[in-house]
Amino acid sequence: MKNKYFLFLLLLVLHWQAIAQSKKEQFGQLMTTYHDYNMFDGAVLVAEHGKIIYQDAFGMANREWNIPNRLDTKFMIGSVSKPLTAMLVLVYVEKGLINLDKTLGDYLPEFNNRPAGIVTIRQILSHTSGMPNYDIMKNFFPEMSRRAFTREEYIKIYRDSALAFTPGTRYYYSSWGYFTLGYLVEKISGKTYAQAMKEEIFDKAGMSHSGSYHHTQVVPDRATGYDYVLGGYQSADFRDQSNTMGTGDIYSTVEDLFKFHLAIMDNRLIGKELTNEMLRPGIAPANYGFGWFNKPFKYTDRDSVATNFHLGMTEGFVSFFRRIPSTNSMVLILCNSSPTDFFGICNNLVKILYGQSVKVKQPIHKKMETLIAEKGTARAVEEFQLLKKDTARYYADRISLCFLAEQLLTMKRVEDARLMAENNIAEFPSFDMANCILGNVYLQLGRKEDAALYYRKTLTISPFYEEARSRLKEMGLAEQ
């Protein structure tokens, strides 16, 4: 009887080992395909039940010296810094030094008698404060983004800006809000944001390969950021990290962010009650809690699982982090070539994690990049109509197609940008980003009435799309 029981356990263990091996092979095939499509250069990690079941690195950390990415390569993580900033604020909440329901005016005199003085710390954490984002400034990129600021100088840029709505009534993503949280931490703790983050988060979670970056630092094993361009790569634009404190100045590795996930799971940094509040869904449709979008992920037509996730994008880098607390699982990509289909990559990783078969089709926007470089934009748009019909081999990612139009506009190829943006509108007429980019193209062409039309369409779709609102205001026009 004992022998039969032992044999049963042995077969069960071998069965699960085979499943794990199969998953690992599928993850590897998936990421290799994305890399071959020029859609992923970086590091990837998948964990299940608190254990790493797949991790790998692809492409070059530095193309000038042909240095490959490794698992310990350090990447800028962009707005995936926000979950870390939120956690840091909550550490000080638990210490009794910050009250979630007190206002900025209670803590920071420079906000007294100014619009944001009435917003609470809770509202800033959940992006429901109504504080604006930097995209209300037409010249933020590249003029303001390249400049060095003291904390006080940077806050002066936005502290007098009107709130977009009554605090606590709506969701609106604000990086300026999170910069203010970083500034608050410095004032409350008497430490720099970098020092506080190291002592309260990195050291306690064992994240020894993470830090707050400034461009004068020499950080061993840090990747260089690149942008995909027509037919190749280019070095990403410079951004002075003094204006990203609290919002996007963190560098990290896949294993360090796995350790952060584990620290959340075992309540090592803050208690269970505050953790639950952090991960509670906020105002729809974003469902943003404190530092995380908290939404279910559907891995089949009928099945879903509760997740916490965040996207990060900064010059030449893309990151995406999705946690599944119920099974102590997570998927993470850190990429040093931008842009890419971050949702598609991570969605497919989760599907494989849940035993679903995945077939990666070739992204149309990558095919169009080659066609634009070799045959011109007009021909590429013609070819698009044929490619989209071949659904067995190709798929259209609307975000990436919009980035392609925006890239052409940045390159001053305005007529090419028009062809691409108009094609995107024909395909995705209800996509706010496509409408706003076409508005920007028409504005560059001097077609102000057409630009206004598409900015207004953007606001009809997304009433708080601040870039469209700001462009209309600059043109001296009403929103409707």
pLDDT in tens, 367-425: 999 999 999 999 999 999 999 999 999 999 999 999 999 999 989 999 999 999 999 99
Q: How confident is the model at residue 296 (pLDDT cuts 50, 70, 90)?
A: very high
Question: What pLDDT, on a 0 to 100 scale, did the predictor assign at position 19?
Answer: 52
State the average pLDDT over residues 206-227: 95
94 pLDDT above the threshold of 70 = yes
20 pLDDT above the threshold of 80 = no
15 pLDDT above the threshold of 50 = no
Question: What pLDDT, on a 0 to 100 scale, did the predictor assign at position 4?
Answer: 55
- The domains of the chain are located at 76-353, 362-474
Give me the CATH topology for the region 362-474. 1.25.40
Q: In this structure, which long-range contacts are made by residues 207-210, counting pairs with CB atoms below 8 Å and at least 24 apart in sequence? A: 207/252, 207/256, 207/257, 207/259, 207/260, 208/256, 209/72, 209/74, 209/252, 209/253, 209/255, 209/256, 210/74, 210/250, 210/251, 210/252, 210/253, 210/256
State the average pLDDT over residues 225-249: 90
Q: How confident is the model at residue 2 (pLDDT cuts 50, 70, 90)?
A: low
Q: How confident is the model at residue 14 (pLDDT cuts 50, 70, 90)?
A: very low
Question: What pLDDT, on a 0 to 100 scale, did the predictor assign at position 29?
Answer: 97
Mean pLDDT over the full length of the chain: 93
State the average pLDDT over residues 109-133: 97
Question: What pLDDT, on a 0 to 100 scale, did the predictor assign at position 146?
Answer: 87
The predicted-structure confidence for 126-177, as pLDDT tens digits, reads as follows: 999 999 998 778 778 888 888 889 999 999 999 999 999 999 999 999 999 9
State the average pLDDT over residues 211-240: 91
* CATH of the domain spanning 76-353: 3.40.710.10
Question: What pLDDT, on a 0 to 100 scale, did the predictor assign at position 456?
Answer: 97
Percent of the chain scored above 90 by pLDDT? 85
The predicted-structure confidence for 279-291, as pLDDT tens digits, reads as follows: 999 999 999 999 9
User: Greater confidence, 465 or 15?
Assistant: 465
